């Protein structure tokens, strides 16, 4: 069933996001990567400035998942989706709650913007931007902000 | 004239971006704000986590412009625009080259993603995400990366 104000495309994007969220929680790399377009331009939370193409995004997911013990507590807040027939974008505040394999607690929010295009009838992520802001006074990334 | 592979909407977005770039160089707050939608959700390079609505974005532009001496050296690299009739998004690597009013040189790249919607026949920026990544080893924002 479509949401009251939604379009079919919005519902498709919401379904994609939900599947991807579940894949991250389960640390399922292939499922988390399944909507990533080959030519993605990804701006990630940590260095470098950008990843061009799937390979860097996959390596980063593998590295991140393997640094955390057990499943990942992962939720999206304030998700907004804008979609036309063939292109779409979404933004949200993403929260991860997990423990590293060395026992360090991670409880962090970041900002996420995701851009989609329908390619051969399937929605693909062609651009993704994830980040935290920094404190200009200290030059430090702000890892403890809460919405 | 339309670019060879471009659509009318892409050309309109490119024109908007060029006007905004010129406005930033000239530190013209009203011109830099003219395409910002009232309900913008903005994720900025520095704290806080987000700005909701025009007011925060305007204050931030005023603060930034007034912290810099003279005009701003400002350029966009690797600009990619995706546009349908009514929605669009763009991403780029943005470079600022300027001197603060206290004489400090600023030579910095950041990642920018901008999302647009046509409202009452005019393209408006409804979401913007600007950031630098951070170095997980030091926790510092990476202000000296180059593409």
Residues of chain B in contact with residue A49, where contact means CB-CB under 8 angstroms, are 93, 109, 111, 132-133, 142, 145-147
Q: Give A6's pLDDT tier (boundaries 50, 70, 90).
A: low
Query: Would you say residue B107 has pLDDT above 50?
Result: yes
Query: Would you say residue B2 has pLDDT above 60?
Result: no
Question: Are the beta carbons of A20 and A12 closer than 8 angstroms?
Answer: no
Q: Which residue has the higher pLDDT, A146 or B3?
A: A146
pLDDT in tens, A108-130: 999 999 999 999 999 999 999 99
Does the CB of B95 have a partner CB in chain A at under 8 Å? no
User: Strand pairing of A87-100 and A140-141?
Assistant: unpaired
CA distance A14 to B96: 36
Tell me the H-state helices in A1-147: 8-25, 29-33, 54-67
DSSP letter, residue B57? H
The pTM of the full predicted model, rounded to 2 decimals, is 0.95
Q: Is the dihedral of CA B62, B122, B11, A114 positive or negative?
A: positive
Question: Are the beta carbons of A43 and B109 closer than 8 angstroms?
Answer: no
pLDDT in tens, B22-53: 999 999 999 999 999 999 999 999 999 999 99
Query: How many residue pairs from chains A and B have C-beta atoms closer than 8 A?
Result: 141
Tell me the H-state helices in A51-128: 54-67
User: Strand pairing of A134-135 and B134-135?
Assistant: unpaired
ipTM field: 0.94
Instruction: Select from A41, A47, A109 the Cβ nearest to the Cβ of B135.
Output: A47
Q: Give B8's pLDDT tier (boundaries 50, 70, 90).
A: very high
pLDDT in tens, B120-147: 999 999 999 999 999 999 999 999 999 9
């Amino acid at each position: 069933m479509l949401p009251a104000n939604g379009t079919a495309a919005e519902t498709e994007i919401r379904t994609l996001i939900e599947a991807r969220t579940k894949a991250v929680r389960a640390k399922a790399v292939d499922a988390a990567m399944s909507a990533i377009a080959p030519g993605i331009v990804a701006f990630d939370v940590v260095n470098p400035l950008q990843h061009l193409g799937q390979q860097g995004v996959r390596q980063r997911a593998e590295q991140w998942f393997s640094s955390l013990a057990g499943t990942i507590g992962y939720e999206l807040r304030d998700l907004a989706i804008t979609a036309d027939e063939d292109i779409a974008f979404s933004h949200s505040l993403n929260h991860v709650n997990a423990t590293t394999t060395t026992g360090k607690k991670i409880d962090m929010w970041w900002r996420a913007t995701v851009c989609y295009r329908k390619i051969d009838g399937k929605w693909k992520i062609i651009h993704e931007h994830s980040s935290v802001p920094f404190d200009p006074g200290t030059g430090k990334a702000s890892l403890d902000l809460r919405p």
